[in-house]
Structure 1
Amino acid sequence: MSNSSPKGVALITGSSTGIGAIYADRLARRGYDLILVARNEERLNAAAAHLRAETGVQVTPLPADLNDKAGLAKVEAVLRDNPNITMLVNNAGVGSVASLLQADVEKMQAMIDLNVTALTRLTHAVAAGFVARGKGTIINISSVVGIAVENLNGVYSASKSYVLSFGHSLQKDLADTGVRVQTVLPGATATEFWDVAGYAPQKTSEITMRADDLVDAALAGLDAGELVTIPGLHETEAWTRWEQDRREMSAKFRNARPAPRYHIA
């Protein structure tokens, strides 16, 4: 087995297929050793073997169900205890196209557990070590429906809004520590996500992006120093205006009295 990579180890969740598998391929080709996390052990081992043969980097499969407390704790421990980890890609997630009234509440809870709770706990597990070492990269995969919240299931959209907000807060909390935080907002992307979410035809829609293009754009955004990367947004000034307006409005909330329109004496 080769010596550890000078770039360190990237741990990628949801890495046996789709966007996570493309991240694994691209980061391996950039010279990162990998820890691949996914539920399906057979697919995970096959992906690891393929990447070892193709790239020559060290690839460690870590089978774990992040919706299971024991599985999540196992990955948290690796993130806390392995000082060679220099990057965390929080990619694992699940979605739905069903309206709230048509949705199974237990499935909605499981979605929150994976998209919000697991992502938060894994980020927390790795952050202190990154800060202590003065370096590290956290990539959190959100979605454009974190902004365009009416487009899919409300719980899914809300979970992705959380990821975007969490990223803003992390960037504030970890400023000047040497730790980078990037939030990626994919639009519709051609992966198995749509089979699980209940709308397979979306994979072949004319507005659906190839997963390879999505990840390549996201990594180009990382290289360029973007804090938020939206590969499908061509008009970058639209995001700049959105962020400027949001931040300017934040200062206007600081009032001890209700607005005059409420006619409170």
Structure 2
Amino acid sequence: MTTTSKSKGTALVTGASTGIGAIYAERLAKRGYDLILVARNQARLTELANRLATQSGRTVKTLVADLGNKSDLGRIEATLRDDASITVLVNNAGVGAVTPLVATDVGKMDDLIALNVTALTHLTYAAAPAFVSRGNGTIINIASVVGIAPEMLNGVYGASKAYVLAFSQSLQHELSDKGIRVQAVLPGATATDFWEIAGHHHRNLPKEIVMSAEDMVDAALAGLDQGEVVTIPSLADQNEWTSYETARRAMSTHLSRATPAARYKVGESAVA
């Protein structure tokens, strides 16, 4: 298939070879974006790139990289800084953990933090100044509902996704007046190989809580179109998030004062 439609720019998608990342690539190609697909598996990347190029007529490039490796990460950072065609960054690459903290190898948690937090931060720091200099760009960060419900799974995984959420909200606050869109997507349980890799296949979860990856991405892109900064595809009542955010913002004005709260009785004279 060939296309005559003008490209909307290039979308760089990490963790693009399978699952959520591959579906983002497919959907963005259909929306008129050329693609740079980043993942570790060359064979899967090549197969996906060939299929999407044929189906959409868009230009699809691949970059094989392990984002937990500093040298590989640096190559992708350089691409984001130097390729002026890039208008969208989808920070999808990540790893999960479902075992209790005390039963988990801390070395594996180092690897999780390196990918979920450090790599995402580095890629965003590479993309954001470039987007600002061009006056437009979109950063989509894939977080998780465990970012606001850390009791659900492994605590380090939850903390890493809480970081992604807070980082995204701060970025939107800083960059929204510079023509930059930032969206944090918080999926619930999604039918991908994430669960199998983490040691607990999604087929073992109740069917009513597991969303297909296709529906998750379609809902996330609809949220982007609607201007959402935080998109929770499975949350039926958006007012619940609005109330949560309103309460958080209201409390934030009371978090720094010169004296401790009265309930701590600090500074009161001792009674004999």
TM-score, normalising length: structure 1: 0.97
Gap runs ≥5 in structure 1: none
How far 1:38 moved relative to its partner? Answer: 0.2
Structure 2 CA distance for aligned equivalents of residues 221 and 231 of structure 1 = 8
Structure 2 CA distance for aligned equivalents of residues 176 and 199 of structure 1 = 42
String of CA shifts for 1:87-127, please: whole Å, max 9, x gaps: 00000000010111110111000000000000000000010
Summarize the alignment of residues 181-260 of structure 1 with structure 2, pairs less than 5 Å apart: 181-202=182-203, 205-206=206-207, 207-260=209-262
Q: State how many pairs are aligned.
A: 265
Structure 1 CA distance for aligned equivalents of residues 127 and 247 of structure 2 = 32
- Look up the equivalent residue of 2:84 and give its one-letter code: P
- Look up the equivalent residue of 2:70 and give its one-letter code: K
- Look up the equivalent residue of 2:219 and give its one-letter code: A
- Look up the equivalent residue of 2:190 and give its one-letter code: T
How far 1:130 moved relative to its partner? Answer: 0.5
- SS at the partner of 1:252? coil
Match 1:263 to one of 226, 247, 265: 265
Structure 2 CA distance for aligned equivalents of residues 175 and 217 of structure 1 = 22
- SS at the partner of 1:176? helix
- SS at the partner of 2:176? coil
- Give every structure 1 segment of 4 or more consecutive aligned residues whose post-TM-superposition deviation is greater than 4 Å: 1-5
Structure 2 CA distance for aligned equivalents of residues 222 and 115 of structure 1 = 21
2:270 counterpart residue number: none
Quick one: percent identity of the two aligned structures?
59
How far 1:201 moved relative to its partner? Answer: 3.8
Contact persistence 1:5–1:33 (CA under 8 A): no
Contact persistence 2:3–2:56 (CA under 8 A): no
How far 1:3 moved relative to its partner? Answer: 8.3
1:82 counterpart residue number: 83
2:137 counterpart residue number: 136
The structure that has the greater radius of gyration is 2
Contact persistence 1:39–1:63 (CA under 8 A): yes
Contact persistence 1:4–1:58 (CA under 8 A): no
Structure 2 CA distance for aligned equivalents of residues 216 and 3 of structure 1 = 25
How far 1:172 moved relative to its partner? Answer: 1.1
Q: 1:85 to 1:201 in 2, by over 3 A?
A: closer
- Look up the equivalent residue of 1:101 and give its one-letter code: V
How far 1:6 moved relative to its partner? Answer: 2.9
Gap runs ≥5 in structure 2: 268-272
How far 1:4 moved relative to its partner? Answer: 9.4
How far 1:183 moved relative to its partner? Answer: 0.5
String of CA shifts for 1:58-87, please: whole Å, max 9, x gaps: 000100000000110010000000000000
- SS at the partner of 1:253? coil
- Look up the equivalent residue of 1:11 and give its one-letter code: L
Q: 1:131 to 1:4 in 2, by over 3 A?
A: farther
String of CA shifts for 1:10-69, please: whole Å, max 9, x gaps: 000000000000000000011100000001111111111111111111000100000000
How far 1:5 moved relative to its partner? Answer: 4.4
Contact persistence 2:185–2:231 (CA under 8 A): yes
Structure 2 CA distance for aligned equivalents of residues 158 and 5 of structure 1 = 41
Contact persistence 1:19–1:191 (CA under 8 A): yes
